[in-house]
Structure 1
Amino acid sequence: MFQEMTLEELQSKAKQGKLTIIDVRSPSEYEDSKIPNSVNIPVFDDEERKEVGTIYKQVSPKAARERGIEIFSAKLPQFINEVKELDGEKVVYCWRGGMRSKAAATVVDLAGTPVFRLNGGFRTYRNWVVNTLENFDMKPHAFVLNGYTGTGKTEILQKLKSEGYPVLDLEGMANHRGSIFGQIGRKPHNQKKFDSLLVHELLRYQDDEYVLMEGESKRIGKAVLPSFLMDKKDEGVQIYIELPKEERVRIILDEYQPWNYPEECIEAFHMIKKRIHTPVAKEIEQALHDENFEIAIELLLDYYYDPRYQHSITQYAEDQIIPIKAKNTEDATQQIKQLLTKKNVLH
């Protein structure tokens, strides 16, 4: 018979790389939120889950169980083989450690593959994430990258992270670029998915002297940053990056590739159109329709983004700010690395 595993045991074994975590919920549940590095082998697909749920509500729990057994029985050989082929110790979970994970663990164990079941299911993990964030005492200092739109802050952070620097890529965790146009070409993560990614990154860097992050607002797409992280950001060293405008336009074009999403660009622009002087707004809209994206970006920088950024600079004390003037993102990255080597920069 399968054994239960606590969340603490799961996390310990996962850190050691000795565990394969199997999510047996439906694909849409898995897409909505999951335990990091888990694989999805569903007991029911989305339509089957809906059918069983309807029977549960409209007929009876007994009838729902019987229909569930009927559906799952037909896919047992494939299900057992998929689990068996996975490496290492195995643990399965569903939403709350209920019938789906119990059925999955039972049949896999009976087929000769030892397996654990997560006690309390995904709900236990989600409660842990929420409680950890609510009570988190973030120890590292913060270096915060600021700068006009298009200064390649995300690109710089990703480069630094690839070299082993402690980086919180908040836009990456939100799967959103943090602007009106930030969702173009992406599917933004919901709060649950963002929280899950964030808590693991925070714990990863908790013993470091500092972390690097971008100067984000409270909301990034669908995700809201916790208050302690906003406080840490506001208290941190503010690195202000300045790049030539032509370089910024190039970076924006490379990042957004608006020619692949012309309709989405126009739709996003309509959300800010009223905030821009009417003749300029008409010129930007026409440039977007003509797919003259370079002109549209230059006008958006001059008449919308840059003035808003200039206002945001005033919220920080002068001794918090370190300006960096660079030719491109590579130059800016090198200057930041030099800055981080100075022992007195945090004092």
Structure 2
Amino acid sequence: MSQRPYTPELFLQQATRHPVFDVRTPSEFRKGHIPGARNLPLFSDEERHEIGLLYKQQGREPAVLRGLEMVGPRLTEYIRQVQAVTDSRQVLVHCWRGGMRSASLAWLLGQVGYRVGLLQGGYKAYRKCVLADYEKPLQLLVLGGMTGSGKTEILHSLQQRGQQVLDLEGLACHRGSAFGALDDVEQPTTEQFENDVHAVLQTLQPEQPIWVEDESRRIGSVIVNDGLFRQMRNAPLVCIHVSREARVERLCNDYGSVSPEKLAGAVSNISKRLGGEKTRLALQAIADGDYATATHAVLDYYDKTYLYGISKRNPDRVMDLDPTPESPGAIAAALGKIARDVQL
């Protein structure tokens, strides 16, 4: 049998080369897991609940014996599931606190020749490491611009040009604003979003500029980590300026395939902020298939909100890309020059 304990930092390094098996329950895994890990639960949610009650009521030994009764018939299946995932004889395993669940699977895999790396302190220690890393300084550059300016496309163009990019909306599976969830893509939990963002940051050079879109604290249902959001608010903000007509055209293209019912629902969700007159105008325009008029009505609110947010920033940390080129590629090229010249 070959087992080796790893600190969270070393465990994540090893995870770039070897498969990770998370032996926690399915509900624990869904709430948050190490990106790329595979769930190989020793117990179901119901079984873990039963064992937990038994531990509290009768003590450790009865709980352990009951766990062995549950796991025993499934030992061969655990090995087969690992074999189905990888041909490698080196794997990584963890549970919640680095206790019996991960140690038990490591022992089993060791009996059939696997070399097993264990996460010291389990997923709990990993999460502590993730949250601590968010407090480390990053050289962020924030890309600002009114709704419909094509900021996501520009970020992708920046990345293609070799710039470091953190695409928060992509990781959140949400386009931002009340209309961001119209793709019907399930968002991660906030905890999983933090894990995913952390995994991307681990691939970037923190001492070099990292472009990120200007976001509110909440992106759909997920919340940006406090440490990261604080740095975003204090970082230099580069504002691009795209004409209202170009923005309306882009938004109509982006959302033109969405059903009128979903668009009307999104407008209704922000009706209190839009006001009665703008809401009625937008809803009637959607019903008439006049998406340009509806978009203009909604942009009145979003533009006002954006300008208010800019007014709350330190003016010494705000700069304009003026004039702003027309194409995303040309904008990205100009932003790349700023990244080389700006004092972070």
Shorter-normalised TM-score: what interval? 0.7 to 0.9
Write the letter of the residue equivalent to 1:32.
Answer: K
Alpha-carbon distance, 1:167 to partner: 1.1
| Residue of structure 2 in register with 1:247 after alignment | 246
Please give the per-residue CA displacement for 1:214-244, whole angstroms capped at 9, x wherever unaligned.
1122333344444554454344432222223
Root-mean-square deviation (CA, aligned residues, Å) is 3.1
Please state how far the C-alpha of 1:34 moved relative to its aligned partner.
1.0
Answer whether contact 2:5 2:120 (CA < 8 A) is retained.
yes
Partner of 1:346: 343
Q: Distance in 2 between matches of 1:105 and 1:87?
A: 17
Is contact 2:11–2:117 with CA below 8 Å preserved after alignment?
no
Greater length-normalized contact order (CA 8 Å, ≥ 6 residues apart):
2
Please give the residue correspondences for 1:309-328 in structure 2 after superposition, counting only pairs within 5 Å.
Answer: 309-314=306-311, 315-317=313-315, 320-324=318-322, 325-328=324-327
User: What CA distance in whole angstroms lies between the structure 1 residues aligned with 2:145 and 2:185?
Assistant: 23
1:67, distance to aligned residue in structure 2 (A)? 4.0
TM-fit CA distance, 1:154? 1.5
1:256 Cα shift? 4.8
Secondary structure at 2:258 match in 1: helix
CA, structure 1 residues 330+106, in 2 after alignment: closer, same or farther (shift >3 Å)? same
Structure 2 Cα separation of the partners of residues 113 and 54 of structure 1: 33
Which residue number in structure 1 is paired with residue 33 of structure 2?
34
Q: CA deviation at 1:284?
A: 1.7
AA aligned to 2:296 is E
Gaps of 5+ in 1: none
For residues 69-127 of structure 1, give each alpha carbon's deviation from its aligned partner in whole angstroms, at most 9, with x where no partner exists: 33333332222022134144211111112232122112222233232322221111011
User: Which residue number corresponds to residue 125 of structure 1?
Assistant: 126
Counterpart in 1 of 2:5? 5
Alignment-derived partner of residue 137 in structure 2: 137
Q: Residues 78 and 120 (structure 1 numbering): CA distance in 2 closer, same or farther, change over 3 Å?
A: same
Contact 1:247–1:328 under 8 Å retained in 2: no
Correspondence 1:224-239 to 2 at 5 A = 224-239=223-238
Equivalent residue number for residue 333 of structure 1: 332
Q: Counterparts of 1:104 and 1:43 in 2: how far apart (Å)?
A: 8
The 2-side partners of 1:345 and 1:96 are apart by 44
Instruction: Report what 1:195 is aligned to.
Output: 194
Q: Distance in 2 between matches of 1:39 and 1:162?
A: 30
The verdict on how the C-alpha distance between 1:130 and 1:233 changes in structure 2, with shifts beyond 3 A counting, is: closer
Range that drifts further, 42-51 or 266-275: 42-51
Question: Which position in structure 1 is the counterpart of 2:105?
Answer: 104
* Alignment partner, residue 277 of structure 1: 275
Structure 1 pair 48–263 and aligned structure 2 pair: CA distance change class (3 A):
farther
**Structure 2 equivalent of residue 170 of structure 1:** 168
Structure 2 residue matching 1:19: 3-state secondary structure: coil
Paired amino acid for 1:12: Q
SS of the residue 1:335 aligns to = helix
What letter corresponds to residue 246 of structure 2 in structure 1? E
The residue aligned with 1:306 is: 303
- The Cα shift of 1:176 comes to 2.9
Distance in 1 between the 2:56 and 2:266 partners? Answer: 41
Deviation for aligned residue 1:59 = 6.7
- Find the residue that maps to 1:145 and give its secondary structure: strand
Query: Which letter does structure 1 place at the counterpart of 2:28?
Result: E
CA distance in 1, matches of 2:211, 2:41: 38
Contact 1:4 1:119 in 2 (8 A): no
Shift of 1:130: 1.9
Q: Is the 8 A contact 1:144 1:239 kept in 2?
A: yes
- Alignment partner, residue 148 of structure 2: 150
Deviation at 1:129, TM superposition (A): 1.4
Moved more, 3-12 or 33-42: 3-12
Aligned residues: 338
SS of the residue 1:5 aligns to: strand
TM-score (norm 2): 0.83
Q: Distance in 1 between matches of 2:116 and 2:317?
A: 57
